[in-house]
Amino acid sequence: MATVAKAAPQPIPRIAPREDLNPYRIAQIQFDIAAEYLKLDPGLRQILRTPKRILEVSVPTKMDNGQIKVFTGFRVQHNIARGPAKGGIRYHPAVTLDEVKALATWMTWKTATVNIPFGGGKGGVICDPKRMSKPELERMTRRFASEIFPIIGPDQDIPAPDVYTDSQTMAWIMDTYSMTKGRTSLGVVTGKPISIGGSEGRHEATARGCLVAVEEACKVKKMSLRGATVAIQGFGNAGSIAARLFAEKKARVVAISDSRGGVFNSRGIDPMKAARYKERSGTVVGMPGTSRISNDDLLTMKCDILIPAALENVITLNNADQIKAKIVAEAANGPTTPHADEVLARKGVTMIPDILANAGGVTVSYFEWVQDLQSFFWSEGEVNAKLELVMRRAFHEVHETARKHRTHMRTGAYVLAVGRVADATLVRGLFP
């Protein structure tokens, strides 16, 4: 009598019955699932799930009206077993310490997923940059840089842009750090302007890396990117550039959105016209030739490729079963909850997790750091070619790990990344 081979037992995710939307607890759940697959020692698990260093600072800033306002800022270094901490700085009124801890944790796994020699860090300031003038932002940024000065540096912790920060923000941090050191230090931040050691290709890197990951996913699913319908939630740096790059590949961008709402056109939206309209109006809503839709409607609309490129927790138990996309590529950090992951996996949706899909940014940040340390700079073509090699290799390593463990892509990425950091930690040992 023939016997039927039994599938390997699946580790049971330690998820609370009610969905927890705290980003740090979500990050820990994702780690715990991978740790179960890897059968990590309890002591090693404690090391890897605990941030190495947390710094909270007050940031007194003189406002344009002459008054002093004190902002709160954070810098978290989650793990440096594989190299200096690496991660962005975000300015947002909703920044919390748990959010920054989660983002630092995700950076540890992201750098390990694409196998670059960094650890994970993140920073943030609780502020509303939309209500601040450029001089106020400069004074706040410089004071924040001086407060976190003791723990950042080219061989310690290397900040980069994130939500509502940009190359100008990085230039101010680099200048503040350099003036304090008494010498120019190009490698203290990445995402800088080209004129002071920035890298060609860095501005487009997150979106370009996402495009490469989606191209590889299309090959796996045996579907064509040409003519595929794409919906993008979030029309900031990553989202707007992704729209243009996908359109250049002859995909059809049918919906885009920002914080005020979204727009839809089944025949396609011209990303360049959308970018110009948003620059004039401050939003894509109202763009001629489009119909208005909500951000929620965009997420659940019928499309081939969905790209969440905004903030955390937009795909949850509330809407996961309504997702109709064949591929979800997370250009944002943490847009999908663990419960939603399971729902999407059951539906057959290919999820390209954030620690892979948006790793193009940190990959080219690594290239920028290398160029700064060598004082030898590459052309945009060289940068893009190197980025494509890293992203394609990482995609297939994640896909193979997921296939080997009979799980979905996020857990595959975590098993790969956590395994690499665990190996580095064990080889280094504990001091003293």
Strand order in the sheet with 157-161: 53-62, 68-79, 119-126, 85-92, 157-161
Q: What are phi and psi of 86, to 5 degrees?
A: -140, 135
Place of tokens 């997370």: 330
- Helices 380-404 and 205-221 cross at an angle (nearest 10°) of 40
- The strand pair at 261-264 and 252-258 is best described as antiparallel
Q: What distance, in Å, lies between the first and last C-alpha atoms of the chain?
A: 59
Q: Among residues 329, 330, 360, which one has the least CA distance to residue 111?
A: 360
State the amino acid at position 241 in one-letter form.
Answer: I
My answer on whether omega of the bond before 432 falls inside 30° of 0, hence cis, is yes
CA pair distance 150, 153, nearest whole angstrom: 8
122 is catalytic: yes
Q: Among residues 51, 10, 43, 9, which one has the least CA distance to residue 27?
A: 51
Q: For residue 251, what are the contacts with CB-CB under 8 A and spacing of at least 6? A: 225, 226, 227, 228, 229, 230, 305
Q: For residue 182, what are the contacts with CB-CB under 8 A and spacing of at least 6? A: none
Q: Among residues 148, 174, 177, 176, which one has the least CA distance to residue 161?
A: 174
What does the DSSP 8-state code read for residue 61? Answer: E
Q: Among residues 134, 118, 52, 42, which one has the least CA distance to residue 85?
A: 118
Q: For residue 156, what are the contacts with CB-CB under 8 A and spacing of at least 6? A: 84, 85
CA pair distance 61, 56, nearest whole angstrom: 16
Q: For residue 33, what are the contacts with CB-CB under 8 A and spacing of at least 6? A: 11, 13, 14, 338, 411, 414
Catalytic residue among 122, 192, 278, 326: 122
Place of tokens 């990482």: 394
- Helices 23-38 and 97-113 cross at an angle (nearest 10°) of 40
Residues designated catalytic? 122
